[in-house]
Structure 1
Amino acid sequence: MSPKHAAPEPGAVDGSAPPPQLTKNQLTKNPAPTPVAADDDKLDGTVWRIAGVVVLGAIMSILDVTVVSVALPTFQTTFDASYATVAWTMTGYTLALATVIPLTGWAADRFGTKRLYMLALTLFLLGSIACGLAWSIESLIAFRVLQGLGGGMLMPLGMTIMTHAAGPHRIGRVMAVLGVPMLLGPIFGPILGGWLIETASWHWIFFINVPIGIVALIAAWRVLAKDEPSPSESFDFVGMLLLSPGLALFLFGVSTIPEEGTFASAKVIIPLVVGLLLMTGFVFHALRRQDHPLIDLHLFKRKQMSVSVITMSLFAIAFFGAMLLLPTYFIQVREESTLTAGLLLAPQGIGAMLTMPIAGRLTDKMGPGKFVITGLFLILIGMSVFTQISSTTPIPLLLGALFINGLGMGMTMMPIMTAALATLRHAEVARGSTLMNIVQQSAASVGTAVMSVILTNQFLSKPAIQAAKAAQENPAAMANVPPDVLAQAKAQVQEQMAEAFGTTFWVALAILVVTLIPAFMLPRKARETVGEEPAAPVVLH
């Protein structure tokens, strides 16, 4: 959501303030509905039809994050690229998501939610088709960015559309509807991706979006209300031009370290320095700009917001970066099919599905700190199993660790978001939601880049892996090698690959331990409210 999704000006704490999802312009066209009785808060047929349109878009956006995770080894083989390079198909997508989140609210007022939603669907569809037709890893990464620009708008726009249709008194039911793809995506995404790669080809993990997107476009055209756009408040284009390229250049520099083999390379240092300068420039710009900055850094004056941002950043870097490695482990080390790898990841999604709704309901009553700390300890238990991973680790043990990880993740994400927004005024909640969602997406991108760099460096340091790579490039030299020697060499390669994964998981574990420090600063008691209820957070991914 954009910072402008707050009706009153900063400082207004009037209990009658509209929810932050509605902007000034949108409120004049969509006035808040009259309060209704408690037994009259069910979603009617019209709202359910709109929900169907929104969920279709959300499913495509969220599934495309998880579907691609099992395809990374396939991309390595198909395009003869390193893991750090193919990981950019994930990093570029999530960076694009983060880039358009703050733009969406401003553009919704300027052009109308229906038009913008259909534009987002169209961008996502065109990006999907282009990804399926990609001829190189560079073109695939570029098309994933295009796809992410469309996908990033679908969830915040869907929240705005649903809030307008259902009214603020039914926001809980709206969040429940939009939560379905969030919970099911991590379970079915890897399975769907693995099945499509096994039965068809990697191209179809992108082409599958075409029929779904066409149905969503037709449904949006027929179901969504006609737009009445009006002039909107200014958008921080300077901030966007500083922050987005800055973060992208910084991550590009980090991701280039393995292929250069050293930090002291112009291809590494130049983008790193330029990226840091751009991000530093954004900080000064955002602190000076009082009128709708891209990210409202003044919110860091709130201690609880600062602590939550630090906790979310460290958690997302460690957890999402590390979990992206598992499909590659199952496929390259255990020689499982892509479909089997997807199925093996399901316990984590199931664990999150069990605890996320419970944590979401009880956080307000018991305080977010208790859930976040408990969730982090569960993840530490699960992650410690992966630090000891080998080429023969029992699969049931790994599945159990994944399930524990999922339980912990479900108890961590929503409570951190709630802790960040709990002490903000109504006028600040939308800006806080924007900040937290950008932090989450950007930190996940950083985690993907960092973990892929560490894993690639570990591969480069293993002699058996390098010898096997050299042998693949010269198959004639392997023609007279006895089969038993080849089998022994293969087992040695797999074991060294497993060691590389284990070392990378150790790094993730260390970051999670550090995450406990800010987590202990989160409130561990129920928030007391006086005169008004805390506004519901807007969680995008």
Structure 2
Amino acid sequence: MTTPAAPAPASQRLDPAFVRLALVLLTGVLAVVFDTTIVNVAIDTLARDLRVGVTTIQWVTTAYLLALGMAVPVTGWLVDRYGGKVVWMSALGLFLAGSIGASLAWDASSLIACRVLQGIGGGLMLPVLTTLLVQAAGGRSLGSVTALITFPVLLGPIFGPFLGGLIVQHLSWRWIFWVNVPFCVAGLILAWRLMPRFPGTGKARLDAAGLALLSPGIAAVVYGLARLDTDGGFGHPSVLVPLAAGLVLIAAFTIRARRAGDRALVDVRLFRVPSFSAATGLLFLSGFALYGAMLLVPLYFQQVRGQSPLTAGMLIAAQGVGVLASRGIAGKLTDRFGARWIAFTGLVVVALTTVPFALAGAGTDEKWLVAALVARGIGLGAVTIPVMASSYEGLERSAIPHASIITRTAQQIGGSFGTAVLAVILQWSIVEHAGHGTAGLAAAYDVAFWWSILFTAAATLLALILPTRS
């Protein structure tokens, strides 16, 4: 299953064929990454224009996440059965069809149906992207490879809300879906012309029983977490029942998969590799540091500082500047020194640069908060790249699709869980500080930011298990 990983020379460069493949794949996946976060900004507008309530319109987001979660586990089998190029182009075509359908939707039901189609395509594309690029790299320069893979994933939650706010403020909500079309069309043309076939063995048999356990299990967990903020707590039946059912299904799949070995839909024996287990755990916890905090920061600027959604999006883009500044050097340092100390340092930076928000009041100078966001982005870029790279350290080629599925699932559930938990903490804190005006609201956000710092601190301990190079 695994082989010892040889240290990669610091001078090692990615060959032109790999870079060309990366550009082809990233062109298509940009639509998926930005679409996920852009739509969230338009929920209120969609509810008004389609004349439906919040309980109906929230399915525009929930249905997409459920379809995405259910599609992820089957990607390994599809790639082995039909080949990487066929699966990639089919998934991109599904996402394109869903985007066009959503832009032409005539009511909430048609929009939700098209979002399901988008979710299936997006759920297939993200792990296939990772699988093909890591396999094409052949285990070399994983830090630099991961810097390429995570480039759009890191930018989505940062620039997506800004782009969404710009579209909603100046254009029709339908342009939120039309903007996907050029990326999808260009991605399909480039893949058809430039992408190798990546043929599969055609021998893998679908683990139907495993699929019947894992896909509904992931979907149930994501659904329960999506209801957490709406229904106000873990004790509500609409949250507790799907969460419990999903965890039981995932546990049953894990037990069955351990016995099935490489015949399982996902090879859970990868968790025997310490670096992979630590990386997966960190990817889960990164949901609190990245997605959870990205819920708090724009709301803080709007509710406490009185900024418009567009201005808040522009301020958050400062964090994207930090991410861009650190991603290249983080990849090179990971290839040279290993993941442990790069990720550890990045997490410390993330925790420390969140402290200004936890100490901020309604009158705190905004320029210091923007500077903290830039530094926080540097830390985030230094975390994600080494963690992702270490999850593939020493794995054989046949194990990479399984690793891609597990890491993508950990990121998705971690992001949903981090966002939901911090949303509930914020809600409880706002109730506790009610009646104290803007100062009370600022104090409520302080509490939520301290919890975010605590979760980040827990992740720093897990980072010490990651591999390093002598």
TM-score range, shorter chain: 0.7 to 0.9
Give the Cα separation in 2 of the matches to 1:136 and 1:391. 41
Partner of 1:486: none
Give the Cα separation in 1 of the matches to 2:309 and 2:281. 35
Q: 1:194 to 1:133 in 2, by over 3 A?
A: same
Q: 1:288 aligns with which of 259, 264, 271?
A: 259
Q: How many Å apart are 1:375 and its aligned residue?
A: 0.9
Name the larger-Rg structure.
Answer: 1
Give the Cα separation in 1 of the matches to 2:124 and 2:170. 31
Q: 1:179 to 1:300 in 2, by over 3 A?
A: closer
Q: How many Å apart are 1:205 and its aligned residue?
A: 1.7
Give the Cα separation in 1 of the matches to 2:375 and 2:166. 25
Q: 1:305 aligns with which of 276, 288, 294?
A: 276
The alignment of Structure 1 onto Structure 2 pairs a total of residues equal to 464
Query: In the alignment, does 2:463 pair up with 1:519?
Result: yes
SS of aligned partner of 2:261: coil
Query: In the alignment, does 2:16 pair up with 1:43?
Result: yes
Worse-matched range after superposition: 376-385 or 254-263: 254-263
Q: 1:441 to 1:262 in 2, by over 3 A?
A: closer
Give the Cα separation in 2 of the matches to 1:270 and 1:406. 37
Q: How many Å apart are 1:277 and its aligned residue?
A: 1.9
Give the Cα separation in 1 of the matches to 2:427 and 2:12. 57
Partner of 1:314: 285
Give the Cα separation in 2 of the matches to 1:107 and 1:445. 26
Partner of 2:391: 420
Contact residue 389 and residue 502 of structure 1 kept, 8 A: yes
Runs of at least 5 residues in structure 1 that lack an aligned partner in the other structure = 1-9, 16-37, 465-491, 528-541
What letter is aligned with 1:125? L
Q: How many Å apart are 1:512 and its aligned residue?
A: 1.4
What letter is aligned with 1:505? F
Partner of 1:369: 340
SS of aligned partner of 2:16: coil
TM-score w.r.t. length of structure 1: 0.72
Aligned pairs for 1:314-393 (under 5 A) are 314-393=285-364
Q: For 1:399-428, what per-residue CA distance to the aligned partner results, in whole angstroms no more than 9, with x for missing partners?
A: 112112111111111212233333545554
Partner of 2:97: 126
Partner of 2:447: 503
Q: How many Å apart are 1:233 and its aligned residue?
A: 0.4
SS of aligned partner of 1:290: helix
Contact residue 194 and residue 337 of structure 1 kept, 8 A: no
Contact residue 123 and residue 147 of structure 1 kept, 8 A: yes
Aligned pairs for 1:420-459 (under 5 A) are 420-425=391-396, 427-459=398-430
Query: In the alignment, does 2:58 pair up with 1:110?
Result: no
Q: 1:323 to 1:453 in 2, by over 3 A?
A: same
Q: How many Å apart are 1:251 and its aligned residue?
A: 3.9
What letter is aligned with 1:105? G
Contact residue 286 and residue 295 of structure 1 kept, 8 A: yes
Q: 1:59 to 1:416 in 2, by over 3 A?
A: same
SS of aligned partner of 1:440: helix
Q: How many Å apart are 1:39 and its aligned residue?
A: 12
Q: 1:498 to 1:301 in 2, by over 3 A?
A: same
Q: How many Å apart are 1:242 and its aligned residue?
A: 1.6
Aligned pairs for 1:70-469 (under 5 A) are 70-71=41-42, 81=54, 93=64, 96-132=67-103, 143-158=114-129, 178=149, 180-182=151-153, 184-185=155-156, 188-224=159-195, 231-257=202-228, 259-260=230-231, 263-425=234-396, 427-459=398-430, 463=434
Q: How many Å apart are 1:359 and its aligned residue?
A: 1.7
Q: How many Å apart are 1:152 and its aligned residue?
A: 2.8
Contact residue 289 and residue 455 of structure 2 kept, 8 A: yes
SS of aligned partner of 1:231: coil
Q: How many Å apart are 1:515 and its aligned residue?
A: 1.7
Give the Cα separation in 2 of the matches to 1:223 and 1:433. 23
Identity %: 37
Q: How many Å apart are 1:97 and its aligned residue?
A: 4.0
Whose helix fraction is larger, Structure 1's or Structure 2's?
2
